[in-house]
């Protein structure tokens, strides 16, 4: 796990340097072929970086964030399109963040719309936070499903895996959105819009499921393909190659993500691509039927909703999940999540052990300053007479001192009862710091004395043991 985190840090710095280079190229080179040629090496580098990672989470997320979305944004940026070109005065920090994260910045609302939503903002925020809390709880529960797979029916396991996939993506993207809001103050679009409420495939793929990918594929694949096809087959039939090309690219990019963390003998025979092509054909059929019948014949939402979700789940069980199941993706993710929690717990304990002495010193100094201020406020000291004894002006509990880590062992000392020394014309704060430093040296000497005493005890014990053996031998 430590090596994987080190590799991830190297990959992160490579991505940071590459995006800074792209930002500089955008400032210097005009959009078009020249900028594209300058940015193509970065595209190749982003395709290569996920190969340095071997865990499901880090390799999959890096492949999705960098190899897919960041590359598409850079290609759009080469021609002056996409989110990286939406604001000519974008700062370097915002450029790096938008390029590296699969999130598109929302447009700032007008004052009128802001005032209209002011009265119901708090209830919506409350419902949003409640939904995220429920999804995090579901993720914590469903993450343990791979450990109990043998006790659950396979069809139920498939459904729970589908639910786990959605909740996991929602949680990860939510964390990225919160990080963006805290670090650079950006309001970000949600990645999903309650896909379980979809009433049609067009509603599911266009307005509810993975809106980040939809916002990238629309300007990168759909619009160029439709404009090109309009010149060949006309605008009436240009919709077919545009939709099929978009779903084909989406399927190929999903195959690429699987390629990064799946063994050679476990790769799917284009099942994921077939899943997206099938949905492209069904989506075109749905649009044609809507145009044919119009508003004359329309099923209610209570019927179209379950039909849509049922079709997505059924096709996903047959074509999408087998690829993930073949490479044991969920089982590996379960093991990696447990290993990550254990690693973080171990490292946090080690960090706490090393920071504990520093924490004690900081606490004592801050408490001493507070006591000094209180003593000066109560006029406990004269104008020219200051005590160097901390206990004289601060009620420090000297029964037991907080444990300090020394040489891999923990010791517990008492405060030394020293006599107060009074000096004239000296700074109270300087004397207080000197007093604390004296106590620190006293603790160090106590630690050295304890070690010498322990060595002496061991030596005396060994001598006693030798004397007893010699006495037995003489007898």
Distance from C-alpha of 102 to C-alpha of 88, rounded to nearest angstrom:
20
The reply to whether 352 falls in a domain is yes
Residue 120 counted as domain residue: no
pLDDT at 372: 55
* Number of residues that this document lists for the chain: 475
Predicted pLDDT of residue 126: 58
Q: pLDDT tens, 302-327?
A: 888 889 999 998 898 888 888 777 77
For residue 322, tell me if it sits in a domain: no
Q: Which domain, by its residues, includes 391?
A: 343-474
**What is the helix, strand, coil percentage profile of the chain, to 5?**
75, 5, 20
Q: How far apart are CA 166 and CA 163, in angstroms?
A: 5
Kindly state whether residue 22 falls inside one of the protein's structural domains: yes
Look at residues 88, 106, 124 and tell me which one is the last residue of a structural domain: 106
Beta bridge partners of 411: 404
Distance, CA of 445 to CA of 467 (rounded, Å): 32
Spell out, as residue ranges, where the chain has pLDDT lower than 50.
107-123, 264-265, 378-428, 459-462, 464-475
User: Which pLDDT belongs to residue 374?
Assistant: 58
**400 in a structural domain:** yes
Each residue of 388-423: b (16+ CB within 10 Å) or e? bbbeebbeeeeeebeebebeeeeeebebeeeeeeee
| 289 within some domain | no
Q: Is 418 left (phi over 0), alpha (psi -120 to 50) or beta?
A: beta
pLDDT of residue 365: 63
Give 126: exposed, middle or buried? Use CB within 10 Å, 0-12, 13-18, 19+: exposed
pTM of the model: 0.66
Tell the burial category of 309 from Cβ atoms under 10 Å away from its Cβ (0-12, 13-18, 19+): middle
- 351-356: Cβ within 8 A, 24+ apart: 353/405, 354/405, 356/402, 356/403, 356/404, 356/405
Which of 71, 106, 141 is the last residue in one of the domains? 106
Query: How many domains is the chain built from?
Result: 2
User: What pLDDT was estimated at residue 145?
Assistant: 73
DSSP assigned state of 227: H
What's the farthest any 2 CA atoms get from each other in the chain?
116
Residue where a domain terminates, one of 74, 106, 138: 106
Q: Please indicate, yes or no, if residue 55 is contained in any of the structural domains.
A: yes
């Amino acid at each position: 796990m430590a090596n994987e985190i080190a590799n991830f840090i190297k990959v992160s710095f490579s991505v940071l340097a590459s995006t800074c280079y792209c930002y500089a190229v955008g400032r210097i080179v005009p959009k078009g072929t020249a900028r594209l040629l300058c940015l193509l090496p970065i595209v190749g580098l982003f395709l290569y970086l996920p190969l340095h990672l071997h865990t499901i989470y880090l390799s999959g997320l890096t492949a999705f964030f960098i190899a897919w979305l960041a590359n598409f944004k850079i290609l759009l940026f080469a021609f002056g399109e996409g989110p990286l070109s939406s604001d000519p005065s974008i700062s370097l920090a915002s450029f790096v963040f938008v390029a590296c994260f699969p999130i598109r910045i929302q447009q700032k609302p007008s004052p009128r719309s802001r005032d209209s939503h002011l009265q119901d903002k708090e209830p919506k925020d409350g419902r949003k936070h409640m939904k995220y809390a429920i999804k995090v709880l579901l993720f914590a529960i469903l993450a343990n499903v791979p450990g109990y797979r043998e006790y659950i029916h396979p069809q139920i396991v498939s459904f729970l895996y589908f639910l786990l996939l959605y909740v996991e993506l929602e949680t990860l993207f939510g964390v990225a959105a919160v990080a963006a809001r805290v670090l650079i103050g950006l309001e970000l679009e949600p990645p999903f819009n309650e896909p379980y409420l979809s009433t049609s495939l067009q509603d599911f793929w266009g307005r509810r499921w993975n809106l980040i990918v939809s916002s990238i594929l629309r300007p990168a694949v759909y619009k160029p393909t439709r404009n090109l096809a309009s010149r060949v087959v006309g605008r009436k039939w240009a919709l077919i190659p545009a939709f099929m090309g978009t779903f084909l690219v989406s399927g190929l990019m999903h195959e690429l993500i699987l390629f990064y963390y799946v063994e050679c003998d476990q790769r799917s025979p284009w099942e994921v691509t077939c899943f997206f092509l099938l949905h492209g054909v069904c989506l075109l059929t749905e649009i044609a039927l809507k145009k044919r019948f119009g508003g004359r014949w329309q099923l209610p939402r209570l019927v179209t909703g379950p039909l849509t979700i049922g079709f997505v789940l059924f096709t996903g069980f047959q074509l999408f999940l087998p690829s993930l199941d073949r490479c044991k993706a969920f089982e590996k993710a379960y093991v990696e999540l447990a290993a990550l929690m254990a690693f973080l717990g171990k490292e946090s304990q080690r960090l706490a052990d090393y920071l504990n002495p520093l924490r004690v010193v900081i606490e004592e100094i801050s408490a001493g300053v507070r006591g000094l201020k209180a003593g000066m406020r109560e006029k406990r000291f004269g104008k020219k007479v200051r005590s160097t004894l901390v206990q004289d002006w601060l009620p420090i509990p000297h029964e037991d001192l907080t444990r300090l880590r020394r040489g891999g062992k923990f010791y517990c000392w008492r405060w030394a009862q020293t006599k107060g020394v009074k000096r004239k014309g000296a700074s109270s704060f300087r004397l207080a710091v000197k007093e604390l430093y004296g106590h620190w040296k006293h603790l160090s000497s106590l630690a050295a004395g304890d070690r010498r005493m322990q060595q002496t005890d061991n030596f005396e014990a060994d001598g006693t043991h030798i004397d007893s053996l010699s006495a037995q031998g003489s007898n």
